[in-house]
Amino acid sequence: MSAVMWFRRDLRLLDNPALLAAITAARDSGDDRVVPLFVLDEALWGPAGSVRQAYLTRSLDALRASLGGSLLIRHGDPVSVLPEVVRAAGAASVHIAEDFGPYGRSRDIAVEGALGGVPLVRTGSPYAVAPGRVTKDDGTAYRVFTPFYRAWMRHGWRAPADDIPANVDWRLPMATDGIPAAPDLGALILPAAGEQAAWERWESFRSSGLADYAENRNRADLAGTSALGHHLKWGEIHPRSMLVELTDSDEVFRKEICWREFYAEVLAHRPDSARVSLNERFDQQMRWSEGPAAEDAFTAWAQGRTGYPFVDAGMRQLRAEGWVHNRVRMVVASFLVKDLHLPWQRGAAEFMHWLRDGDLASNAHGWQWTAGCGTDASPFYRVFNPVAQGLRFDPDGAYVRHYVPELAHLAGAAAQEPWDHPDGYDHAYPQRIVDHKVEREVALADLAEMKKP
């Protein structure tokens, strides 16, 4: 009998244990047929936003090409779709990489119940070490990154899975609903999608960026990061495939992969933390700005018109590319929470709307780290100075000039401080909407008030 491979966040053929399990199951039953399936689930598609929708359509198209054109796309609720596909294919098993997200877990349990005894076989996950595998000696979850990293390293990970065999029969048992048309993104430019693009990006970074990663990763004006987040988001490459190629000198990059796994661990143990502060006092007792002025401030931040060049460059990069440099993500997040006194959830939602690499666990907990209310968080009293950060991590102003054309006439570091130059506002760049020094003191006073018994 055939087997169904239900792709979700593993849109690749290489190093795919679930796919290998599906092929093995089919061949053990005397049948070479494997049905490659992707379900376009409205519960995920709708909230994804146009940027991730567009990227997903491209990734699915690349996966379809790698399968020789045989990819079954079905639109609908997986609880209904999977039994239909199983019946049409005469399948004896359905194979998946385990999903540890809040929605994914409940969905898979519901699908399992609807399959009428056909097993839903979980093999592998989107992570080098699946959530729940690394715990303290007493079995509880880690709440601090550094001890988690040490335990994660001691645990280790499997070697990449074998390549899939040749001559798999990818025959489809029913008509496909097709890949939906990609939303119109206007001027926003997306990078190439798919497994081949992921490997090309990894090889390029490994050969030309990895050696200098520790030194350059915080420089917004340099291409010092891997820019692999969107490939990892959709599983076009598995983190294990990269980890196996790292050496002892690559620990800083290895830690960045581990941060992704740590945040997945946190979300798996506290599913509500996608929207609720782990330190709930921040939601219940912190004084947040409200009213028309607060809404105007949020709009200025989202559109990159705060009057602080480094912040504005980051928010404009988000809308131009569906991506923001990681250092800049922290700076714009700090500005929203601590200069504009708005809750992190609003910024996290804005990011998820625009990011091509929007990952629920990493996004929510990255924001909570900066806001000072999450696991292993940066203290709230650490307030990023948006000017000092720009001068340090974009010292010649190249990043600002690229994304904020109103300041392109200012040479060097002058682009970071247009208020200090007679011609700084000659091209309609906005004035600063707040005084950072004043708002920092307000934020610290709010923190002190929240901490009162």
Active site residues: 256, 259, 288, 326, 344, 367
Residue 256 and residue 258: Cα distance in Å, rounded?
A: 5
Residue 88 and residue 93: Cα distance in Å, rounded?
A: 13
The count of C-alpha atoms lying within 13 angstroms of the C-alpha of 406, restricted to the half-sphere facing its C-beta, is 21
Is 111 in contact with 79 (CB distance < 8 Å)? yes
Residue 101: what residue type? G
